[in-house]
Structure 1
Amino acid sequence: MSSSTDLAILPANTRRYGDVDQQKSAGVIYTPADFAAFVADQMVSLAELPAQGEIRVLDPAVGDGALLEALLMRMPADILNRIRVVGYDTDPGAVARASVRLRKVFPDVSLLIEEKDFLDHVLSLSGDANLSSSAAQAPMPFDLVIANPPYVRTQIMGGEQAQQLAQRFGLTGRVDLYYPFLLGISQVLTEGGVAGVITSNRFMTTKSGQAVRRALLSQFKIDHVWDFGDTKLFDAAVLPAVLLARGIKAPSDQSVGEIAFSTIYECKENALIQASDVFEALAMSDNTIVSTPDGRNFSVRHGLLENGDHAEGVWRISTETGDQWLATVSENTWNTFRRIGKIRVGVKSTADKVFVRSDWSDLPGGRPELLRPLITRHCARQFKARVPSQAKHMKEIMYPHEATSGGGRKAVDLSLYPLAARYLKGHRDVLEARSYLIKAGRAWYELWVPQDPAAWSSPKIVFPDISEKPTFWMDTEGGIVNGECYWIQCEREDENDLLWLALAVANSTFIESFYDHRFNNKLYAGRRRFITQYVEQFPLPDPARKETQAIIALAKAIHAELPSSAADQMISELNALVWQVFGLNVEEDPA
């Protein structure tokens, strides 16, 4: 892969496998040869090349030339003299290396590898037009586009460049640079031409990817999507996917039911068959567990792309058995976690070294006022928080906010808290350096995201945003949740039992299967992302049912008894009840 990022904005890079910070800044990860071969094979099998005249090929982020080499190697020898290859990269070293590499192997192919920013090129074609507009036309389209764009987030780039990309490509929120690359490719691909693009799989499930998902379905005729999940095909922490798509004449609505979708994720189940590598494993039939020579086992699934019939909906794989499983859950679902209340992220100070400490009692001036217990990921345990094993993880937060009589919040009057005031004034320079807070009209000593001061005393479910197993616990002691965790409390006073019901469902093995069927989004080592857009869709059974009442009672008893062998036994019993209340047995899970 290449780095088609603007060198005037991003730090210079020398190697794609340098340090992690450098990779994050430049988004530079070259494509392994076997991965390049996979993409090229898929493109050639789909492409219908012109019988006469020039065949135009583009790599908009050429890097070391691996993708172009793989694609050209698979072209019939008798058409090589009709092929014109264009490659862009903003790294002059990459341009030079790719040029030498390709000219040596393909002396008969017309090559133009130049130091150029692909996004600048596309913008020059469309002027000020939004690239989602049908008015943006590429005068010299390409028959084949093969790419592995950089993954750098626009926040890492200069603010002006990020704003320009967002405005011109119709993007909002936290976006990655490959988003506009994907949209840009649609503008230079000829009608019926084929694009094979390696991307991060993040866009398929994140809120920031909503606009991209909508645009991809409109700007391309997508043929196949492969989610390579945690296969570790790259050295860097990228979970890759491949899009295989055709160019279309004008934006249109495409039925996602026509798009093949394949996934491969590491699993712990016993393998039924062996494969020489990930790519051979992916060729196995649906719902097969495959082992590879490095000792890993993978679950392979093949189906259709499903997005809930919504242009911006999360992309997931739809299979007959999986859809039947979800249909059974739906039949036994009364409501979702949305019913309970809004899921919120914890507090964010943007100055944790000042506000969050474990040694408040050791300060020379004495223990200050305004301290509250802080709930962090080190407290994580199903059902009931654990006491962190290390003293440094037993945190308290200085919380300079209070509720108002009108139901809002305000910064406390520091004159009423002399020890806290003296402490904060000792760090005033650091706190006032948060210019964004001052510009927002806030007091210099506030937390950036304090949440609702009146809410902390009520019972609430807390959970970390990333974990291998669901880890939800009930806080009844008024702690403040740190920004690395999420929390939810009941918004209706007469429905507090729904919190206990949610606690039971969220900690069950059932919810692991539901998550995998409904969202299919895992990180490395099988970790799942428990974020708002997922958790708010977790199902709840009818609270009036006898079985549900038993579940609620067990959840309360487990919370009261932890840690103990009796609690462990009740957790096992509760898990079975959750499966049953949704009309399922764990043995019937097709995952």
Structure 2
Amino acid sequence: MSQIERAPDRYSSVAEKKSTGATYTPTRLAEFVADRMLAHARFIDGQRLRLLDPSVGHGELLVALVQRLGRPVTVYGFDTDPVALEIARQRMEKHCPEVECKFVVGSFLDHVLSDFLGGLFGTEQRYDLVIANPPYVRTQIIGTEQSRRLATQFGLAGRVDLYHAFLLGMARVLAPEGIAGFIVSNRFMTTKGGASARSGLMNDLNLREIYDLGDTKLFDAAVLPAVIIATGQATESSTPAFSTIYQAKREAASNATDPIDALSSNGFVGVPDGRTFEVKHGKLDVSGDASSIWRLASDQLEDWLSTVAQNTWGQFKDIGKVRVGVKTCADKVFLPKEWDDDLELHRPLTTHHTARRFRPMPPNRKILYPHEAADRGKRAVELDRFPKSKAYLERHRATLEARSYVIEAGREWYEIWVPQNPSEWPMPKLVFRDISERPTFWMDLDGTVVNGDCYWLTGDPSLLWLALAVANSTFIEHYYDNRFNNKLYAGRRRFITQYVEQFPLPDPNRAVSKEIVDACRALYSALVEGPQPDKEKELDAMVWGAFGLSVEEI
């Protein structure tokens, strides 16, 4: 078995889950990928084709494609699970008995590294057709050494997912006039970690069609799937078509038999189980470089974004740096749920549990924070000045010293691993949580320490209030979906640094911006009495107007 795929036992647990069918491709999706691939077929009549599935599983993708080919084909397949591979072999014999199958129990990536990237290129034939649903395995599962090897060989940067290497490996072995169809996690299309994979695919293939299948729940996997259809480098290039489908809380204007069938429609489409999906069609935005995030572009959408740009003064990152909260690496010591005593180094703590739009709930947690401001930013406090805190930390010294990386970094044994800058905690802060259906941003005026389950930003107070209004608006929901669209199940969005720092701000010197700041401050004060839906709605409309737009329904 491959060194890459054998590494830790945790990979086995992924394979075991896959062998139960939990992450295998459903027939309907396999047929869709096969149909879309063959829509671009331009093969010579009578030509015997070479077909590859680098992660065969039970062979659902192979069966679907071969049954539609209707021509001579030799099937090549790799899988590290011999049981799954035998099932695939039996299925091919049953459904496609005339087809020659050459299956290998082993790693496709080893095949690529040894035969295509190791100096032997040219001795190994490429494949006319590549179809795959590669494994969704991240760095922490495949291990550091294996991850480093993959990163080096495939030019990957950041956190390496195994399917990134699979994608680039498949691109390398596709014939110049070949056709490929991949089922992937849609996450790589919009994250910094997927930049290398996006760039590699853009450079090595001619992308034809991209389908972001969102929260359709086509199969039981933790990831949200996407389908990529591509052709080899010798084919004529064109701007790829891009379609998205996500659940929507709207009345359906038409109906379909299932989410795949809904892709042939546009707008709000209902399916028999009662769900409604919003289907959008356009082109891949190719205005940036090869590593730019992949998003849908259309004339209507580009006009909308152009209007926003014309009314944008700056971005959230112009206020200050978006930071994640503190990381103690010993939460049970530094921030237990209950404290027996009050200690000198206690500070109020903000967590996602107190999150509320605009105005948070009062902080109900404390953190022991052994850091203070210094000329060069921060330093660990001298514990002798704080006898109660020192006694408490001494009782937990063994636990804290077990964090060997703290000591090796030349730090004191009682320090928090990522304490951030102590001088900024007393300042007004814009705080927000990562995952939520609606944006949940609030102003911290209590001088709290922000925990690592939240992000925060500090800077000019007037700009923070303006940013707070923008961040909690329905306008920013539209902006997020049009620019980034990194959604999880049930419409939940990821509000992480790479997106939030790009949120737009209107000119703070305009009268409407000053009115927004005043209204946002007033809303914050009024929320102490309870929810203020009318004030929120008024503020929301003001934000839309500041960007030259009318309010749109979510």
TM-score, L = length of structure 2: 0.95
Check if 1:478 corresponds to 2:447. Answer: yes
Give me the whole-angstrom Cα distance separating, in 2, the residues matched to 1:474 and 1:521: 25
Check if 1:314 corresponds to 2:279. Answer: no
Give me the whole-angstrom Cα distance separating, in 2, the residues matched to 1:27 and 1:386: 44
Q: Contact 2:469/2:539 (CA < 8 Å) preserved in 1?
A: yes
Check if 1:551 corresponds to 2:530. Answer: no
Give me the whole-angstrom Cα distance separating, in 2, the residues matched to 1:309 and 1:136: 32
For 2:413, give the aligned amino acid: W
Q: Contact 2:3/2:146 (CA < 8 Å) preserved in 1?
A: no
Deviation at 1:74, TM superposition (A): 0.8
Give per-residue Cα distances to partners, 1:422-478, cap 9 Å, x unaligned: 222222222222222222222222111111111111101000011100111000111
Task: Single out whichever of 512-521 and 259-268 deviates more from structure 2.
Answer: 512-521
Task: Name 1:331's counterpart in structure 2.
Answer: 310
Q: 1:140 to 1:528 in 2, by over 3 A?
A: same
Q: Contact 1:136/1:187 (CA < 8 Å) preserved in 2?
A: no
Which of these residues, 575, 581, 584, is aligned with residue 540 of structure 2? 575
Task: Name 2:344's counterpart in structure 1.
Answer: 369
Which of these residues, 58, 67, 75, is aligned with residue 73 of structure 1? 67
Give me the whole-angstrom Cα distance separating, in 2, the residues matched to 1:573 and 1:12: 52
Task: Name 2:115's counterpart in structure 1.
Answer: 125
Deviation at 1:11, TM superposition (A): 3.5
Give per-residue Cα distances to partners, 1:462-505, cap 9 Å, x unaligned: 00011100111000111011111110001xxxx42111100111
Q: Contact 1:358/1:395 (CA < 8 Å) preserved in 2?
A: yes
Give me the whole-angstrom Cα distance separating, in 1, the residues matched to 2:505 and 2:144: 43
Aligned pairs (5 A) from 1:41-440: 41-76=35-70, 79=71, 82-127=72-117, 139-248=124-233, 258-285=239-266, 288-360=267-339, 362=340, 366-387=341-362, 394-404=364-374, 406-440=375-409
Task: Single out whichever of 8-17 and 227-236 deviates more from structure 2.
Answer: 8-17
Give me the whole-angstrom Cα distance separating, in 2, the residues matched to 1:216 and 1:259: 12
Task: Single out whichever of 107-116 and 135-144 deviates more from structure 2.
Answer: 135-144
Q: 1:514 to 1:11 in 2, by over 3 A?
A: closer
Deviation at 1:341, TM superposition (A): 0.6
CA RMSD for the aligned pairs? 2.3
Secondary structure at the aligned position of 1:196 is classed as strand
For 1:261, give the aligned amino acid: F
Secondary structure at the aligned position of 2:407 is classed as helix
Deviation at 1:225, TM superposition (A): 0.5
Task: Single out whichever of 445-454 and 141-150 deviates more from structure 2.
Answer: 445-454
Check if 1:538 corresponds to 2:503. Answer: yes
Q: 1:58 to 1:341 in 2, by over 3 A?
A: same
Check if 1:449 corresponds to 2:418. Answer: yes
Task: Name 1:391's counterpart in structure 2.
Answer: none
For 1:97, give the aligned amino acid: I
For 2:419, give the aligned amino acid: P
Deviation at 1:513, TM superposition (A): 0.9
Task: Single out whichever of 291-300 and 563-572 deviates more from structure 2.
Answer: 563-572
Give the gaps of 5 or more residues in structure 1. 130-134, 389-393
Q: Contact 1:28/1:150 (CA < 8 Å) preserved in 2?
A: no
Give per-residue Cα distances to partners, 1:276-306, cap 9 Å, x unaligned: 1001101113xx1001111111000000011
Give the gaps of 5 or more residues in structure 2. none
Deviation at 1:27, TM superposition (A): 12
Q: 1:39 to 1:204 in 2, by over 3 A?
A: same
Q: Contact 1:17/1:235 (CA < 8 Å) preserved in 2?
A: no
Q: Contact 1:60/1:87 (CA < 8 Å) preserved in 2?
A: yes
Q: Contact 1:4/1:149 (CA < 8 Å) preserved in 2?
A: no
Deviation at 1:551, TM superposition (A): 0.5
Give me the whole-angstrom Cα distance separating, in 2, the residues matched to 1:182 and 1:56: 18
Q: 1:427 to 1:128 in 2, by over 3 A?
A: farther
Q: 1:114 to 1:582 in 2, by over 3 A?
A: same
For 1:481, give the aligned amino acid: V
Aligned pairs (5 A) from 1:457-496: 457-490=426-459, 495-496=460-461
Q: 1:565 to 1:349 in 2, by over 3 A?
A: closer
Q: Contact 1:354/1:427 (CA < 8 Å) preserved in 2?
A: yes
Give per-residue Cα distances to partners, 1:357-388, cap 9 Å, x unaligned: 2311x2xxx33331111111111111111137
Deviation at 1:136, TM superposition (A): 5.7
Give per-residue Cα distances to partners, 1:130-157, cap 9 Å, x unaligned: xxxxx96572100000000011101222
Give me the whole-angstrom Cα distance separating, in 1, the residues matched to 2:21 and 2:162: 9
Give me the whole-angstrom Cα distance separating, in 1, the residues matched to 2:540 and 2:121: 55
